[in-house]
Each structure stands twice: as C-alpha cells, then as structure tokens.
Amino acid sequence: MKSNQKLSLLFWRSMAKIRKSDGKVPIYARITVERGGSKEISTGVWLIPENWGIEEKRAILSEAEELVKGNGGKGELKSKEKELAGCNKELERIETNLEDHFKVLKIVNQHVDAAMLKSAFEGKNEDNSIEPENEIINEIVEVEDENVEQPTTLLEATDVFITEFKKLVDKELRSDDTLRHWKTTKNKLLSFIAFKFKRKDLLLNEIKSNFADQFLNYLTTLVEEPLAEVTAEKHVKNTKQIITAARKNEWVDVNRISDFKCKASSPDVEPLELYEVQAIYEKKGLNRRLEEVRDAYIFQCFTGFAYQDIYALSPEHIVPVGSNHEMWLIKKRGKTEVTEMVPILPIVETLIEKYKNHPYCKVHNKLMPINSNYRYNNYLKELAFLCNITREDIILDTHLARHTFADIMLNVMGVPLEDVSKMLGHKSIRTTQRYCRVKKHRISKNMKTMVYNLFTKDGKLRKVVAA
C-alpha cells in the first residue's frame, strides 16, 4: 500500500549566518512531511537580506533598489535583476526536484519521513527507494548531434527530446512554457513507471500497445490528485510523440502506441462579459502592483495576445498599415509562429502611451511591464476578488483574456470569424471556432434585421422585386 502523506516546503533566510565578505545570508529549505517530521536542506543560494521577500519566499529587489530603478537606474541594477532571477530559478528547480523525489518515495513506501526525502534529494539512497532521474522534460525533434549516445529507455529518450527542444527555446523558436509542459510529462511518466512496474525506467522495446491506456488510467483514477481526462490525454499524446521521435531517430523499430487518439473534448471556456471587463478597467484605489496587472490584462482583452506574446511585445511590433498609416500590432506567435495582427484600439493606445516611459519598459524595450506568468495569474485572482468577479465558471487568468477578446470581436463587434482567426494568429479556423461561441443576443440581433427586411409590420412577407 502506497503512502498518502503530503509534503510542505518553506524557503527561509538564516540571519544567524551572515557572510562577512559580502554581507549575504544563506537560503534554506525546510521540508515537512505529514506524520514524518521536518528537515532542513541547504539550497546553496546566498542573498543580501534586503533582497529576500518575506511574503513571496523568493528573491526580490529591495525597496531602495526599486526606487533607483524607478528613477531610471540601469547598469548594475540590470545585472542585479539577472542574479536574483537566477536565484529564483534555482529555488524552483530544488522545489520541483524535492516534489519529484517525494512522489516516487510515496509510491514504493507505506510511510515516508523527512529524513528519507532529504537522503533521496542529496543522493543517499534509502532501502526500497527509487531515485528520480535528473530533471531534463510538443513536437517531433530530430537529433542532429552524432555524439549523442543512443537512448535505450523511455526516460532517456525523453531527456534527449527535451534537451533538443530546449535548444529551440534558447533560439526563441519555441516557448519556454511549452518546455515546462514536456518536463511535467516526464515527471508523470517517472511516477507511472515506478507505480506500475516498480522500476526506475522502461526499455523502449518493452513498451506494449496497452501502455497508453494504462498511463491514462493511472493519471485519471489511480493518482492521489487525479487529472481531468483532457489533461491526462495531453500527457499520453506527448509520450506518443516522444516514442515517434525515437522511432524516427531509429532508437526503436516501432511505436506501439501510435494508434492512441484523444477522446475527451476540451472544456468550454466562459469568457468575461463586457460589464466584467469594464469593472476591471474602471477599478479605482489599486496599488501600483495591481494597477499594472489590471492594465496588462485590459491590454490582453483588447488585443487577444497570449501571455508569452504580450510579454515579448516591443515598440518594433507597432507597424503602420495602409495609406492612412493606421497603427497595428503585428508579430509572430511564440507558440505557432503564425503572424497575428491586431489594429491598436484607443484603449490599447492609451495604455501604450501610459507605460512608454516606465523604467522596466525602457530598460527591457517592452510595451508593457509584465510579471512572470506565475505571479501574473496570482495577482489576477486578487484583482478578481477586488472587482467582485466571483462566478463559479470564471477563473481570471492570462488565457481567459484571449477568449474574452475573441468573444468581444465576434459577439459584440460583429467581426467575421475569418478576421478574428487572423487576429488571434490561429493556423486553422477550427481553432478559432472553439474560442468564438455565438451568443443568443447576437443571433437575436441578426434575426431582428432579417425580420425587418423580410416581413411587414403586420407579419406579411414583403414583395420581392425580380432582378
């Protein structure tokens, strides 16, 4: 019987161990296992005490540095930001690694304690424990490096696949968010193999045709926190793509799960109503942090840009179009490389003007000051509460803004579906149809026009003049 314990993790700074040479303090991780005690782990991260966010549990710029940044400070501050971002990236890596080890330990042990987790994390194997592979995890990637050792197992093939995909991310040809999805798939595979086969890995030629169905069943029914079917199917689909890549690179003769097809339909996303968008837009009394988040979200609602695309927007993406030199936002989508082009509406133009001299935008050559996706979405939940947007079918996040834009264009403005598809940068109009659901009031409006044109006031059919 596997363990059902839970893990909590807390990062904290140790003020008792200030390093005299540079005044920095170490950051520790306190791991607490339900009914399994607590242990502390050194993260290897050192920071100036003022750069540690007590609430955020992450590295941040101090108030003094923010003030310098607000006054246009550059140079060393830019280097400081990179250093702090690197610290946070290392803490996120440690957090993910600890969670991966914990998941595997729970699968093969009836009881897990903090000491076992610490030992596994530090590479000291406990009896009966399975140490996760090194963390490396949506497309077919061919390996061009002839020096790469030919993988023989599924997780080895996944590691190579992810390494090659990361090269595309580094060249800005693929999204870092997509890379994280692949890493999540690897973690799911790691847990499944440990659960089902009681092993650390599985040979590629051992994978049978029922592997996909078993993996899907595990993700939707056997894990402690089951996934929605559509989410689980995505991980199985990713696995199929990895094995297809392995076959293409001649690491295995056949992909035995090539017949797997997703059956679950994507859940409908309810966009914000226009009055809810207006409530966000007109909200007063916000602090600077939430005001910037609110403005970024309104920008998304009236451009349709996804998070990674608004994050990458720069003044160079403002392009004059036509003889009137109407200003448009034009860029390639990070996810699909399809060009999306949107006329700059007055509300968007006002926001661009508002932030053109913002220190962050000036230093990084951006149109809007955008937080990390994680922080952005967290702040949006806070904003939703303040704006009293509490519908059960609504979770305010960055992607909902894209659906809201599509809804406004189609149902409020009456823009043709083909035009909305181009503005959203979709490869297929079928994708746009999932974003744009025609609402009753639009049908009603069009039917009233039809009734007026076809019928008289007393309900008789108007006479048709022959052409």
pLDDT digits (tens, 9 = 90+) for 405-432: 988 888 888 888 888 888 888 878 877 8
The encoded tokens of residue 211 equal 């592997």
The beta strand positions in 83-135, using DSSP E, are none
Cα–Cα distance measured from residue 370 to residue 404, given in angstroms and rounded to the nearest whole number: 19
**Per-residue pLDDT for 124 more than 50?**
no
Radius of gyration of the chain (CA): 26
Tokens standing for 37? Answer: 């005690």
Determine the Cα–Cα distance for residues 313 and 201; give it in Å rounded to an integer.
42
- Residue 22 has what pLDDT? 81
The confidence score (pLDDT) of residue 74 equals 54
Residue 64 — pLDDT band, cuts 50, 70, 90? low
Give the confidence band of 455 by pLDDT, cuts at 50, 70, 90: confident
User: Which has the higher per-residue pLDDT, 420 or 446?
Assistant: 420
Long-range contacts of 423-430 (CB under 8 A, 24+ apart): 423/304, 423/340, 423/341, 423/342, 424/304, 424/340, 425/332, 425/333, 425/336, 425/338, 425/339, 425/340, 426/336, 426/338, 427/336, 427/338
Residue-wise pLDDT tens digits, 196-241:
999 999 999 999 999 999 999 999 999 888 888 888 999 999 999 9
The predicted pLDDT at position 322 comes to 78
The set of residues, in sequence order, having a beta carbon less than 8 Å from that of 251 and lying 6+ positions away, is 150, 151, 152, 157, 204
Domains of the chain: 1-127 (no CATH), 133-267 (no CATH), 274-445 (1.10.443.10)
**Greatest mean pLDDT range, 66-70, 77-81, 288-292:** 288-292
Residue 108, pLDDT score: 64
d(CA 332, CA 425): 8
Check pLDDT > 70 for residue 173: no
Q: Place 15 in a pLDDT band, splitting at 50, 70 and 90.
A: confident
- Choose among 123, 149, 160, 110: nearest CA to 4: 110
Residue 135 pLDDT: 28
Q: What is the mean pLDDT of residues 246-265?
A: 85
Which range among 24-28, 144-148, 447-451 has the greatest average pLDDT? 24-28
Maximum CA extent, the chain: 95
Q: Is the pLDDT of residue 146 over 70?
A: no
pLDDT of the residue at 428: 80
What is the pLDDT, as a whole number, of residue 134? 29
434 has pLDDT over 80? no
**Choice between 173 and 306, residue whose per-residue pLDDT is larger:** 306
Would you say 196 and 154 are in contact if contact means Cβ atoms under 8 Å apart?
A: no
Asked whether the predicted pLDDT for residue 130 surpasses 60, the reply is no
Q: Is the pLDDT of residue 297 over 90?
A: yes
Answer yes or no: is pLDDT of 70 > 60.
no
Percent above pLDDT 90 for the chain: 33
Residue for token pair 């937080």: 371
CA distance 410 to 429: 13
Between CA 169 and CA 166 the distance in angstroms is 5
Confidence of residue 67 (pLDDT cuts 50, 70, 90): low
Nearest to 166 by CA among 157, 155, 156, 177: 177
**Pair 110, 3: CB distance under 8 Å:** yes
| Mean pLDDT calculated for residue range 381-392 | 88
Mean of the per-residue pLDDT values for the chain?
Answer: 82
Torsion on CA atoms 369, 375, 376, 380, rounded to nearest 10: -130
Segment holding 58, helix H or strand E = strand 58-59
Q: What is the pLDDT of residue 131?
A: 34
CA torsion, ordered 411, 417, 422, 423, to nearest 10 deg? 0
